[in-house]
């Protein structure tokens, strides 16, 4: 994977207006811990050269952040949008990291967050090349006319099915009411 996964394409994720006629899988996910790097941003800045999400992905890979995360629960990388100020118009935190067993030891430069149990609409991308599949899954989400967004914690899961950026599949979890 390369940092471009998080560039402008993923920075548009919080713009999602739930609407359309897709049938995502609805799941109740128990709470979990994530350890990551974090940046605060908003969609207005992400549409300009002031965007912070692309540089966060670059930092994640260039500094090998994943190797600095203790107690990882698997190899999946989570790209999370959380701590929403309000909705798609407000500030939010973008964090990239991994699910962990606990937040007992947080290395310098990383943050730990407890994500509460929530209900999610889960959208799976088609299998193919990144970033195309990411663009496509978000287009499908934007057309979805189902449950209303909760603006709690939304995240993309880059797991074993996304290890080959030319033949990847990614799941997107949207917190819903």
pLDDT score of 11? 44
User: With bands split at pLDDT 50, 70 and 90, how would you rate the model's confidence at 171?
Assistant: very high
The count of domains in the chain is 1
Tokens 């995360």 locate to 69
For residue 121, give the nearest of 88, 87, 98, 146 by alpha carbon: 146
Q: What are phi and psi of 16, to 5 degrees?
A: -50, 125
pTM: 0.84
Q: Does 76 have pLDDT greater than 90?
A: yes
Compute CA distances 29 → 25, 121, 172, whole Å. Answer: 12, 10, 13
Tokens 């002031």 locate to 50
pLDDT score of 22? 52
* 154 and 13 Cβ atoms separated by less than 8 Å: yes
pLDDT score of 130? 87
* 5 and 170 Cβ atoms separated by less than 8 Å: no
Q: Does 3 have pLDDT greater than 90?
A: no
Q: What CATH number should be reported for the domain holding residue 161?
A: 3.20.80.10
* 173 and 128 Cβ atoms separated by less than 8 Å: no
User: What domain range is 16 assigned to?
Assistant: 3-175
Does the CA dihedral 8-10-79-95 come out positive or negative?
Answer: positive
Compute CA distances 128 → 25, 133, 164, whole Å. Answer: 20, 6, 9
């Amino acid at each position: 994977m390369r940092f471009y996964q998080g560039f402008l394409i993923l920075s548009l994720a919080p713009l999602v207006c739930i609407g359309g006629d897709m049938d995502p899988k609805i799941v109740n996910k128990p709470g979990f811990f994530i350890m990551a790097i974090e940046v605060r941003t908003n969609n207005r800045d992400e549409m300009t050269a002031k965007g912070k999400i692309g540089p966060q992905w670059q930092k994640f890979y260039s500094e090998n952040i994943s190797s600095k995360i203790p107690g990882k629960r698997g190899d999946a990388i989570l790209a999370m949008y959380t701590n929403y100020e309000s909705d798609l118009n407000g500030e939010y935190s973008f964090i990239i990291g991994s699910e962990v067993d606990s937040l007992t030891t947080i290395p310098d430069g990383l943050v730990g967050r407890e994500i509460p149990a929530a209900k999610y609409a889960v959208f799976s991308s088609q299998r193919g090349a990144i970033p195309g599949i990411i663009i496509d899954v978000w287009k499908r989400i934007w057309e979805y006319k189902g449950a209303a967004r909760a603006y709690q914690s939304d995240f993309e899961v880059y797991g074993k099915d996304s290890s080959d950026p030319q033949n990847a599949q990614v799941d997107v979890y949207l917190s819903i009411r």
